[in-house]
C-alpha cells in the first residue's frame, strides 16, 4: 500500500509566544507537591530557617540547570529537550553507541516515565476535584472500594479530556493552559497572602525557632536538597516544545529567566505561610499540608486548597502529555520509533498518533494501579538525563565552536549542574538501596534489546506498511514537511 500524499507545508506550527512559554514551565513545575507534601525537605533540614534556605537554594540550582537548557535550545532548535541534544551531540561519534543514549532517553520517557506520571497526576486531580463536594454529593460514607473506583473513573475522564485537547489543536492547548496557569498561581497567592495576614496579626510562634535544631549530618542535608530539587523538576519543559515557540532564540531564555524565579518565590513564601499556621511537627506528619493549612486558616473558604490542587494537577498532566508527544515526534523523525508517530494531522497540525499513544499508555497505567513504585524506579533517571544533556552542551561547544549561540551560559554553570545531576542520580540509590533500581537497569537493557535490531540494523516487519496506512487513514495524518525536507 502507498502512503497518503502529503499537503505542502505540513508540520508543527510556531503558535506559542513568551507568555505561553512561561505558562508551560509553570504548569509542569507546579503540580500537587507544593500543596500536598512539602514535608521531606523540612524533615531533613531540622529547622524552619534552614528549610527556607533549602527551598531558596534549590530554586537557584534549578535556574542554573534551566539556563544550560536555554543555550541548548538555541543551538539545537528542535523539540525533544534532552533527547534532541543527545542525538545532535553524539549520533555521529559511533554508529552503534552514538545514538544509543538518545534512544534510551526516549525509551524511558515515552514508554514508561511520562505516561506513568500522567496517570498518577490525573488520579490526584480526580481525588481532589471531588474533595470539596464530598459532603454535598453524600460521598463521605461511601465504601473505600467504591470511592477508589469513582476516583479512577473520574481520572479516566480527565485523561480523555487532556488527550482530546492535545489532539485538537495547539491553540486550544495554549488557551486552556494559560487559564489553568493563572488559576494555579492565584491559588498559590491565596496561601501566601493568608500567611502574610497571619504574620501581621502576630502568629510568629512557629517561626521563632529559626535555625534551632538544624541537622548537621551531611546525609540529612543531602536528602533535604534532594527532596527540594525534585519539587522543582520541570524547568526544562519549554525546551521540549522548541519547534512551536515563536522566536525561540529569544523567548526560551526569557521564559526560563522569568518563570523559574517566580516559582522559587511562590515555593519559598508558601512554605513560610504554612509555618505561620502549622508547627514543624504538624507539617512533618501531615498527609496534605495545604489541606490542613486551609482547614485551620481559611475557614469556609478552605475548599480553595483542594480546588487549587485539582487545577494544578490537571494543568500539569495536560502539559506533560503535550511535551512528551513532541519528544516522541522527534524520536520518530530520527528513525528511533515507529515512523507514523512523527506524522501530523492535515488540518490541526498536531502529532495525533503520538498523542493517542500517550493517552493509551497512561490509561493502561491507570487501570493497572499501584504505579508509584514504577515512577520511583525511573524518576532517578531524570537527573541522569539532565546530566547527559549538560555533557552534550560541553561536547557541542567543542565540536561546533563556531555555531551561532544567541545565548551562551557561563562555563561554570554547566559544571555545577553536572555535579548536581550526578549527586541526584546517586543519592536515592545510596540512601535507599532497593531492587527497584535493578528493575530500572532491566528496563534500560530491554531498550538495548529493542534498539539493536529495529534501530541499529533497521529491521522492518512486513506488517509495518499496513499499520502505517491504517494510522494515516484513522488519524488523517501525513509525514511532516521537516522530515521530508
CA distance 224 to 202: 29
| Cβ atoms of residues 211 and 49 within 8 Å | yes
| Cβ atoms of residues 15 and 251 within 8 Å | no
Task: Going from the first residue of the chain to its last (485 residues), give the mean pLDDT of each consecutive group of 10, the final group possibly shorter.
Answer: 49 87 92 80 90 94 94 91 94 93 94 90 90 73 83 94 95 93 91 94 87 84 84 89 91 94 95 92 87 88 88 93 95 93 92 96 87 66 90 94 90 94 81 76 89 92 90 90 51
The domains of the chain are located at 18-479
CA distance 273 to 268: 9
CA distance 49 to 271: 11
CA distance 460 to 457: 9
- Amino acid 96: pLDDT: 94
- Amino acid 482: pLDDT: 58
CA distance 68 to 213: 36
| Cβ atoms of residues 28 and 312 within 8 Å | no
- Amino acid 303: pLDDT: 87
The answer regarding whether domain 18-479 maps to CATH 1.20.1740.10 reads yes
Count Cβ atoms below 10 Å from residue 361 Cβ, excluding itself. Answer: 19
What proportions of the chain, in percent to the nearest 5, are helix, strand and coil? Answer: 75, 0, 25
CA distance 444 to 234: 22
- Amino acid 83: pLDDT: 95
- Amino acid 95: pLDDT: 92
Amino acid at each position: 500500500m502507498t502512503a497518503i500524499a502529503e499537503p505542502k507545508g505540513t508540520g508543527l506550527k510556531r503558535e506559542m509566544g513568551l507568555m505561553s512559554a512561561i505558562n508551560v514551565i509553570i504548569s509542569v513545575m507546579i503540580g500537587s507537591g507544593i500543596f500536598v507534601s512539602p514535608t521531606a525537605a523540612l524533615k531533613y533540614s531540622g529547622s524552619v530557617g534552614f528549610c527556607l534556605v533549602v527551598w531558596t537554594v534549590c530554586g537557584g540550582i534549578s535556574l542554573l540547570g534551566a539556563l544550560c537548557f536555554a543555550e541548548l535550545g538555541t543551538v539545537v532548535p528542535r523539540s525533544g529537550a534532552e533527547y534532541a541534544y543527545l542525538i545532535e551531540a553524539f549520533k555521529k561519534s559511533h554508529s552503534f553507541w552514538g545514538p544509543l543514549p538518545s534512544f534510551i532517553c526516549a525509551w524511558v520517557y515515552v514508554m514508561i516515565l511520562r505516561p506513568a506520571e500522567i496517570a498518577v497526576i490525573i488520579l490526584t486531580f480526580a481525588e481532589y476535584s471531588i474533595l470539596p463536594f464530598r459532603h454535598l454529593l453524600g460521598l463521605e460514607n461511601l465504601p473505600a472500594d467504591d470511592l477508589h473506583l469513582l476516583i479512577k473513573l473520574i481520572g479516566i475522564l480527565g485523561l480523555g479530556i487532556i488527550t482530546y485537547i492535545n489532539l485538537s489543536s495547539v491553540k486550544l492547548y495554549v488557551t486552556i493552559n494559560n487559564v489553568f496557569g493563572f488559576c494555579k498561581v492565584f491559588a498559590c497567592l491565596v496561601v501566601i497572602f493568608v500567611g502574610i495576614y497571619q504574620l501581621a496579626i502576630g502568629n510568629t510562634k512557629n517561626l521563632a525557632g529559626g535555625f534551632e535544631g538544624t541537622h548537621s549530618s551531611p546525609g540529612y542535608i543531602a536528602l533535604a536538597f534532594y527532596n527540594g530539587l525534585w519539587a522543582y523538576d520541570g524547568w526544562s519543559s519549554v525546551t521540549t516544545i522548541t519547534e512551536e515557540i515563536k522566536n525561540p532564540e529569544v523567548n526560551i531564555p526569557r521564559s526560563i529567566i522569568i518563570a523559574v524565579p517566580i516559582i522559587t518565590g511562590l515555593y519559598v513564601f508558601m512554605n513560610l505561610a504554612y509555618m505561620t499556621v502549622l508547627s514543624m511537627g504538624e507539617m512533618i506528619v501531615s498527609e496534605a499540608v495545604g489541606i490542613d493549612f486551609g482547614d485551620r486558616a481559611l475557614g469556609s473558604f478552605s475548599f480553595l486548597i483542594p480546588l487549587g490542587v485539582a487545577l494544578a494537577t490537571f494543568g500539569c498532566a495536560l502539559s506533560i502529555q503535550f511535551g512528551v508527544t513532541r519528544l516522541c515526534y522527534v524520536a520518530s523523525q530520527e528513525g528511533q520509533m515507529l515512523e507514523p508517530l512523527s506524522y501530523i494531522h492535515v488540518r490541526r497540525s498536531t502529532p495525533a498518533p503520538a498523542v493517542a499513544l500517550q493517552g493509551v499508555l497512561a490509561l493502561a497505567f491507570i487501570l493497572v494501579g499501584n504505579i508509584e513504585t514504577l515512577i520511583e524506579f525511573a524518576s532517578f533517571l531524570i537527573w541522569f538525563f539532565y546530566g547527559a544533556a549538560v555533557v552534550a552542551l560541553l561536547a557541542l561547544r567543542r565540536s561546533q565552536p563556531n555555531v551561532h549561540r544567541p545565548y551562551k551560559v557561563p562555563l561554570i554553570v554547566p559544571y555545577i549542574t553536572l555535579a548536581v545531576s550526578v549527586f541526584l542520580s546517586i543519592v536515592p540509590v545510596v540512601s535507599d538501596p532497593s531492587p527497584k533500581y535493578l528493575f530500572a537497569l532491566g528496563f534500560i537493557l530491554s531498550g538495548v534489546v529493542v534498539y539493536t535490531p529495529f534501530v541499529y540494523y533497521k529491521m522492518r516487519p512486513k506488517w509495518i506498511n499496513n499499520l502505517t496506512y491504517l494510522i494515516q487513514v484513522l488519524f488523517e495524518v501525513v509525514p511532516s514537511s521537516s522530515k521530508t525536507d
